[in-house]
Structure 1
């Protein structure tokens, strides 16, 4: 049977079933006797097994068959759900997820699942199954402390650091065998390193190093600009350090090695018992699904087709603007009436196309409960997550980009925000911390908020650290509002954490969050109450390709400012402009606002008209900061298509793209975020 034509559908549906398994296992852990949850898991496993067998992915089918057997036993009360078995069940779904990801990347879905299948066998027989922890695995290979378990988050940080001119090194430190205070020596090495760069990861883990659960050597993944020979000399000065090896780390080589390991895994065949009856049952299931699908009112559409449709419509928007311009110039009644009707119809069409590209943010949110569960265990914390507004929809392009920033923020909340159970008890808080992930629409924007009930942000500590690192001066610090102080933690390399940690990126990650969100046309703000918690609020546009702008003029050049960043426009007298700290400012509604003269920014020839006593200003906002952009005149509001400037004009200051206007002219789109300081 030729199955390649069904591969895309298989991958999409498998991902949906795996998401269902993750979510229901989390619910089962809270409600182990809830029959409805058990039925949902059984159905998802049974369907995934049938699909895998039909597509001839035997390893995937075999492991899913094991899961199905276990939940069949649970629903028949032959197996009792116990806390000890949950790790094995999550571990099994992790393997299934890795197999499907391998298939989606062009692989065959083969994976070494012998260990997890033996654990599931024990559960099926009613015996206890214990998953080997990372700590135990590392103790089994005390003489192999190389970095071999980097996750996607850490690889992302290393890649971003490399792009910004930093070097990535793997540092292997060997202590003398007569070293008595290994933990103290580790602390001294880490303290020394953190003066020269950022620790991204360690092997063994930080907790194991602090508790001296290692032999006499350990490895560190380190980001720095310092010369490796100087770094080696510094570490060797720490007493009882015997040897230091520093080698450059290549992400490409690391991934290549991991791929080769994956290719060499042992093949594990599925059980052959009752194979014929199993396939017959699976075929019946497929027939039922086909019958059910025939009545469905939804179809799957390849995202590339939607992209093509969107590109065609963008051309239509440009031509619509041109027709509106022509009909206005000719002042022909019937032509104007026809163009107005076409504009209404095309606006409706635009809304439908944009809606087709919309994806529920749940596709991003559903990965976090599982991640938080694992992080809580690693950090020795108790944390629950509450998801609100998961049905809120965003453009697919925004959804694809927002995942990593949210991962950074949640890891940061887990590591820096939520306290340990003992500390929370001392403070009179519930031992279990809480993270709330909320999404909601507001106008043409979507807001995503990550809140925690942890320790909040220490304003004075952030301010002092910023002064120490040279981010701001002492005089500037006195003028900052609370929120502006909180936002200092988004500066590059900023971290207030005094303890060693490889969870939240050691300050490398939060500036990446800010840059990614601003590249999407969004903004991020921070609010916090010491001792009560903090909230990171992200504002994102609904879509990126067609935006509403205010067209302005500088001499004979036209520019577009996105409406999403505009508070209002104003025409003021020139005598109302004042000078303060070598800058031009205005008093606008009781608030001092700095002015930016766009003709100077974009080097537009400008002749001062002595008779003109008025000036046109566009008031724009970036988070809590406000500025006034001085222009020659306002043209009006218009919907435009955002086009890239191409590969030859990357990183042009304060310009995010261009658009073609109705009269055929090109207008540059101003990135007001770059102009608000």
Structure 2
């Protein structure tokens, strides 16, 4: 690893550590109040809100950054809290005293950690960040005290009888142990278990295993996988603690726990012996990750496959046996075994010694990023409110104009206009702020693609690499969720159809390893995603012949088409150039769905290709779907809005320059022949108006060709909020939705891509 990469990784680690310390510090006072409230805990009383969740979050966070002392203490406190919830123990003074001692210990650790991560105390060894833990004696004593307090607080026979009599005089302890009583706690842990573990798996398979696939001696990646698997195993223990041992999910989770524990043992052996993470280990790990993902998602339906459990466990155990039979590290081992870390000193530093009660450095605290966690539903609700505000602000201009023209009140009109301008500035700032909160990096989607490429390379025998560029480009979360599947399909197409076999590439004078580049960038308030390969490219003539053979077009139609038009035939339903159907492609049910899905989010896709040089597919996407800008037009008595993203320009076209050819209208625009159609004809609301010498036209594009749409009037640009149509109205072709103008008028939003499709037909 280069020095520069080491520093970048170090800075990322610091951001993560500071994020956790800031969150813990913010929640500290709430945690203290919740523990003090436990002294009021009596028969049948619920635990203070969020106490268990706070302890669980601290445990998971400390495990993630490697503070096993805090992790272990939190785990033991969770056991205490679960026992309290189930009335298996009672609250005594010594229990509260020790929980408060944990808080004091935790506060000291936080203070020290904030000092350590300042520039004066940080050191890097072997490309790893090491921290110091100075409170070993206090930690051991505290753990012993917590265990003794737990044992002393166990409910004895007399206390159990009192407890049983005290619950309405009739209820018994079985009620407290019932699913209804523990339901809230169980559901919370279940949700946390699923969310956190899926995040761990995503990082392992989309980043760490890909790194190991290209560098089998990456010790850092092995360490990170081990920490993630260890966290998953800890989460299993917490989940099991709140389940009924007779439940189906409990039995399945125990088997799952055995598999995770066995895989963790395999990782420990690889780490401690310094073995390289060879391809067979990567393959096995991907298999394990697929199984773990499948199991976690199966929890929702509680349907588990015991045969799959046995199969995966047998494979892991066999790999363990194979490695254990080796007495020395493999000959290919390039990096020595990492320094072993004891259970009591897992992180180290060459920093200064500090007293037992360190004082937090105020400059360190002030440098920590201020952040809070907000539920996604709340952000969506705020975005909807901002959208309504945009509609309201447009009303000011309408009212101002009406006061001036209809009521001859210019002074009041001016004042209303000034207030409207002020509201406009505020709403713009609010809109930009809320939209920035909704923005996430495309990295979340891009990280899935190396796995896709690897799987195709193995199934086809090709050699290829994936280059990711612009992963930090941001786009609205809603769009990210909808673009994932189309991107996967396009990447698979590039790998399967675009990249040639090694022998064929060598004959063409290319390197045997194909190259696919996935990049993202911002341009003109839009996001562009490109998939480019250096493969065999697309032969337009072959496309034409295949389309004619499949009777998708006629010979006459094919002869009239340009190169771009022929290439875009791959978006037709049922079209495929594959000679045989494989697991990867060949059914002809992909690219048309890709185009439709991209169109639904107001995006466009275009293709450029040269034979034997490669292909580039470009997706153009809006930054957000919530708020857009559009051009208001009128056709007869109707008003419509065209989204600006699809408008090239607005022009006036002389009627004398419009010509008929094969039943279609064409015109010349700066030397280019483009199709022209009347919006009134498309929507069947009126006749063509050819009486005027000049016609108003909106020039639209579908990414590779331009078309002209004739309207009666071109009005102003305006921001608008898309309100989707429902029921039968939602199926009207050519209409995206509706919106409100400032005067309260409902207008339809035109879908330009659909209009272009109408004109092609």
Do the aligned residues in 2 keep the contact of 1:521 with 1:540 (CA within 8 Å)? yes
Aligned to 1:42: 226
* Alignment of 1:18 onto 2:201: yes
1:68-121 Cα offsets, whole Å, 9 max, x none, are: 333333332354433332221221121111122223x35488864233233323
For structure 2, which runs of at least 5 residues remain unmatched after alignment? Answer: 1-81, 83-184, 241-252, 326-341, 347-364, 405-412
Q: Distance in 1 between matches of 2:696 and 2:459?
A: 56
CA–CA distance in structure 2, aligned partners of residues 123 and 66 of structure 1? 10
Counterpart of 1:72 in structure 2 is: 268
Change (3 A) 1:609 1:536: closer
SS at match of 1:317: helix
Structure richer in strand, relative to its length: 1
Q: Compute the displacement of 1:410 (Å).
A: 2.0
TM-superposed deviation, 1:8: 3.7
* 1:403 Cα offset (Å): 1.8
Alpha-carbon separation, structure 1, partners of 2:619 and 2:714: 30
Answering whether residue 536 of structure 2 is matched by residue 455 of structure 1, we say yes
Is 2:295 the partner of 1:99? yes
Residue 473 of structure 1: how far off its partner (Å): 2.9
Displaced runs of 4 or more, over 6 A:
none
Residues 1:674 and 2:754 are matched in the alignment: yes
- Distance in 2 between residues matched to 1:388 and 1:534, nearest whole Å: 17
Quick one: which of 646, 655, 665 aligns to 1:565?
A: 646
**Which residues in structure 2 correspond to 1:547-558 (within 5 Å)?**
547-558=628-639
User: Is the 1:79–1:126 contact (alpha carbons within 8 Å) kept by the matching residues of 2?
Assistant: no
Give the 3-state SS of the residue equivalent to 2:731 in structure 1.
coil
The 3 A distance-change label for structure 1 pair 498 and 124 is closer
Assess, with a 3 A threshold, how the Cα gap between structure 1 residues 58 and 361 changes in structure 2: closer, same or farther.
Answer: farther
Contact 1:434–1:453 (Cα < 8 Å) also in 2: yes
2:368 and 2:229 map into 1 onto residues whose CA distance is: 23
Bigger-Rg structure (1/2): 2
Structure 2 SS opposite 1:657: strand
CA RMSD of aligned residues (A): 2.9
SS of 1:127's equivalent? helix
**1:67: how far off?**
3.2
Measured against aligned partners, the alpha-carbon deviations of 1:148-174 in whole angstroms (never above 9, x if no partner) come to xxxxxxxxxxxxxxxxxxxxxxxxxxx
What corresponds to 1:660 in structure 2?
740
Q: Which position in structure 1 is the counterpart of 2:591?
A: 510
Counterpart of 1:243?
none
Task: Please give the secondary structure, in 2, of the residue aligned with 1:437.
Answer: strand
Q: Is the 8 A contact 1:545 1:642 kept in 2?
A: yes
Paired residue for 1:316? Answer: 389
Distance 1:128 1:479 in 2: 68
Q: Which residue number in structure 2 is paired with residue 156 of structure 1?
A: none
Q: Give, in whole Å, the separation in 1 of the partners of 2:672 and 2:662.
A: 16
Q: 2:533 & 2:232 partners in 1: Cα distance?
A: 36
CA contact (8 A) 2:655 2:690 kept: no
8 Å contact from structure 1 (residues 49, 60) kept in 2: no
The offset of 1:352, in angstroms, is 1.7
Residue in 2 aligned with 1:116?
312
CA distance in 2, matches of 1:501, 1:84: 24
CA distance in 1, matches of 2:545, 2:277: 51
Q: C-alpha displacement at 1:553, in angstroms? A: 0.8
State how far apart, in whole Å, the 2-side matches of 1:307 and 1:107 are. 31
Q: Within the alignment, does 1:478 sit opposite 2:662 as a pair?
A: no
CA contact (8 A) 1:558 1:667 kept: yes
Q: In 1, are the aligned partners of 2:577 and 2:586 still within 8 Å (CA)?
A: no
The superposition leaves residues 583-633 of structure 1 with CA deviations (integer Å, 9 ceiling, x where unpaired) of 3322111111211111222233469585x4321111111111111111111
The range that moved more, 328-337 or 587-596, is: 328-337
Q: How does 1:113-512 map to 2 (within 5 A)?
A: 113-127=309-323, 297-331=370-404, 332-512=413-593
Q: CA deviation at 1:413?
A: 1.9
**Whole-Å Cα distance in 1 between the matches of residues 265 and 746 of structure 2?**
64
Matched residue of 1:540: which SS?
Answer: strand
Which structure carries more helix by proportion? 2
Contact 1:459 1:486 in 2 (8 A): yes
Deviation, structure 1 residue 32: 1.6
Other-structure match for 1:634: 714
> How far 1:416 sits from its partner (Å)?
1.6
Give the Å deviation of 1:670: 1.0
Structure 1, gaps ≥5 residues long: 130-276, 282-291
Partner of 1:259: none
Q: Distance in 2 between matches of 1:127 and 1:354?
A: 52
Distance 1:61 1:298, change over 3 A: farther
- When structure 1 is superposed on structure 2, of 639-648 and 321-330 the one drifting more is 321-330
How far apart, CA to CA, are the structure 1 residues paired with 2:508 and 2:646? 41
Q: Is the 8 A contact 2:630 2:717 kept in 1?
A: yes
Give distance in 1, aligned partners of 2:375 and 2:193: 13
SS at match of 2:542: helix
Q: How many Å apart are 1:61 and its aligned residue?
A: 4.2
Deviations 1:483-530 (A, max 9, x none): 221111111111222234232142121111111111221111111111
Kept after mapping to 1: 8 A contact 2:468/2:519: yes
Confirm whether residue 29 of structure 1 aligns to residue 213 of structure 2.
Answer: yes
Deviations 1:415-446 (A, max 9, x none): 22222223223333222222211122222322
Q: What is the number of residues matched between the two proteins?
A: 518
Give me the whole-angstrom Cα distance separating, in 1, the residues matched to 2:309 and 2:393: 58
| CA distance in structure 2 between the aligned counterparts of 1:559 and 1:595, rounded to whole angstroms | 18
Asked whether the equivalents of residues 42 and 72 of structure 1 are also in contact (C-alpha less than 8 Å), the reply is yes
SS at match of 1:521: coil
Separation in 2 of the partners of 1:12 and 1:442?
34
Alignment of 1:588-607 (within 5 A): 588-605=669-686
Q: 2:676 touches 2:708 (CA, 8 Å); kept in 1?
A: yes
1:505 and 1:312 map into 2 onto residues whose CA distance is 46
1:89 equivalent among 285, 290, 297: 285
Contact 2:464/2:513 (8 A) holds in 1: yes
Q: Give me the TM-score of the superposition, normalised by structure 2.
A: 0.64
**How much does 1:127 deviate?**
3.0
TM-score (norm. length: structure 1): 0.71
Which residue does the alignment assign to 2:128? none
Deviation at 1:450, TM superposition (A): 1.5
Counterpart-to-counterpart distance in 2, 1:62 and 1:295:
40
Counterpart contact for 1:122–1:128, Cα < 8 Å: no
Shift of 1:447: 1.4
